[in-house]
């Protein structure tokens, strides 16, 4: 199997620069944060998942059985602390017995008790979520650039980089940014699988593995996101697979079984805790316009709202904009906007943003190919500059929140 060759050209360097700006924004916010009770909860229970079972009989962790709350974020938050603990112990074993810091050979059980022994807890807890948000930004740019060219890719990534809502969730431990990453990846991995099905079967296997992993990680972050992603994958694959539609259900069933096994692993293969996946109600939802109203009326999102409104008008008015590449992210994004979860606190509107940014990138890329190119080039530049200014002005507020 040959590995693909990657060429780092000017577009890749420019996208990397934007992602570096995103990283600097997140680091600026984290440097102004303090450890919160939520941080300690994720750190304590995440470490318990990696290091030892809960001292409470009958419970997966001291946070309970996490019925409805995904385990992915807890494990991601606890992993760096567990690694630091193991490195401290390994380094201590290299000391002479009389000079060892930990005579018993182990650190304290919980992060709260070990707060004087572990260094950089705030950064270790928050940076993994920043990296996943950057990963999603890179995936967003790659998808939009592949579909719409450099201009569409950079416009979509620019909106993502300077979106205060994305930044707010990227700098704290939570399952929302992981569900956003998983759902977007799952949807476009399904599109890739459907296209691969038009070719020889030997090209199916890598994408099928990716589809299973995407579904499994999404389910570990949020069950509702996994169900919605599975439904989107089913519709898109049936639409795009054409002569191979008879294989779609088989592929998705096997991917679902693999994802279920991954989810079992996230619960340390403990059946009692895993049973709460089916009884916790994490996928229950209803519809409401409240989150959409708050997003639209927030002055920090005004340029993004203008970009999305202009994109929707162009999509409705210009026939050349109404093709599959633009329509798929629009439909998925609009479908996610009114959803609210009823059993756990989550923010599905965040999951919709990468799809809506992809849609805006596609429509603006189409508009830049018309005779009104100069007008739309001025409009897109003004939107990005204004959004960047508003976002940078909001960063000190985000750091105190």
Confirm whether 91 is domain-assigned: no
In which residue are the tokens 């790659």 written? 142
CA dist 229 and 354 (Å) reads 14
CA dist 391 and 64 (Å) reads 37
Q: How many domains does the chain have?
A: 1
Q: Which residues pair with 64 in a beta bridge?
A: 61
Confirm whether 72 is domain-assigned: no
Q: What is residue 104's predicted lDDT score, i.e. its pLDDT?
A: 55
Q: Specify the 3-state DSSP secondary structure of 285.
A: strand
Confirm whether 95 is domain-assigned: no
Confirm whether 65 is domain-assigned: no
CA dist 129 and 30 (Å) reads 11
Q: Are the beta carbons of 178 and 224 closer than 8 angstroms?
A: no
CA dist 126 and 163 (Å) reads 18
Confirm whether 264 is domain-assigned: yes
Kindly report whether the global pTM for this prediction surpasses the value 0.95. Answer: no
Identify the domain containing residue 227 by its residue range.
12-34+123-400
Half-sphere exposure of 342 (CA within 13 A, CB side): 6
Return the axis-axis angle of helices 204-221 and 223-240, rounded to nearest 10°: 150
Which one, of 108, 190, 183, lies nearest residue 353 by Cα?
183
Mean pLDDT per 10-residue section of the chain, whose length is 401 residues: 64 94 96 90 88 65 68 93 82 65 52 58 94 97 95 96 96 95 96 88 85 96 95 94 88 96 92 82 89 93 96 93 93 96 89 98 94 93 96 82 62
Give the per-residue SS3 of 128-187.
HHHHHHHHHHHHHHHHHHHHHHHHHHHHHHHHHHCCHHHHHHHCCCCCHHHHHHHHHHHH
Confirm whether 82 is domain-assigned: no
Confirm whether 137 is domain-assigned: yes
Confirm whether 5 is domain-assigned: no
């Amino acid at each position: 199997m040959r590995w693909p060759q990657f060429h780092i050209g000017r577009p890749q360097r420019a996208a990397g620069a934007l992602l570096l700006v995103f990283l600097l924004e997140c680091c600026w916010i984290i440097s102004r944060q303090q450890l919160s009770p939520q941080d300690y909860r994720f750190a304590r229970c995440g470490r318990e998942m990696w290091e030892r079972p809960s001292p409470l009989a009958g419970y997966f962790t001291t946070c309970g059985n996490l019925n409805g709350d995904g385990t992915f974020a807890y494990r991601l938050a606890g992993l760096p602390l567990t690694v630091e603990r193991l490195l401290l112990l390994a380094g201590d074993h290299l000391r002479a017995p009389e000079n060892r810091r930990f005579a018993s050979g182990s650190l304290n059980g919980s992060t709260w008790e070990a707060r004087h022994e572990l260094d950089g807890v705030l950064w270790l807890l928050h940076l993994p979520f920043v990296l996943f948000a950057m990963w999603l930004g890179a995936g967003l740019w790659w998808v939009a650039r592949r579909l719409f060219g450099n201009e569409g890719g950079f416009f979509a990534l620019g909106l993502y980089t300077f979106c205060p809502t994305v930044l707010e969730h990227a700098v704290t431990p939570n399952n929302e940014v992981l569900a956003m990453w998983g759902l977007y990846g799952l949807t476009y991995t399904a599109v890739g699988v459907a296209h691969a099905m038009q070719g020889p079967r030997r090209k199916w296997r890598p994408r099928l593995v990716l589809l299973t992993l995407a579904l499994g990680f999404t389910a570990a972050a949020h069950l509702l996101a996994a169900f919605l992603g599975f439904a989107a994958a089913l519709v898109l694959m049936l639409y795009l697979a054409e002569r191979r539609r008879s294989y779609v259900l088989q592929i998705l069933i096997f991917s679902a079984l693999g994802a279920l096994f991954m989810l079992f692993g996230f619960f340390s293969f403990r059946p009692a805790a895993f049973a709460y996946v089916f009884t916790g109600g994490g996928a229950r939802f209803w519809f409401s316009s409240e989150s959409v109203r708050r997003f639209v009326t927030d002055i920090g999102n005004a340029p993004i709202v203008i970009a999305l409104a202009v994109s929707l008008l162009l999509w409705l008015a210009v026939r050349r904009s109404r093709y599959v590449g633009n329509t798929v992210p629009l439909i998925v994004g609009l479908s996610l906007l009114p959803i609210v979860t009823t059993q756990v606190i989550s923010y599905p509107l965040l999951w919709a943003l990468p799809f809506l940014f992809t849609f805006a990138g596609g429509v603006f890329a189409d508009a830049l190919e018309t005779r009104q190119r100069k007008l739309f080039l001025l409009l897109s530049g003004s939107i990005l500059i204004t959004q960047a200014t508003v976002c940078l002005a909001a960063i000190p507020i985000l750091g105190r929140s």
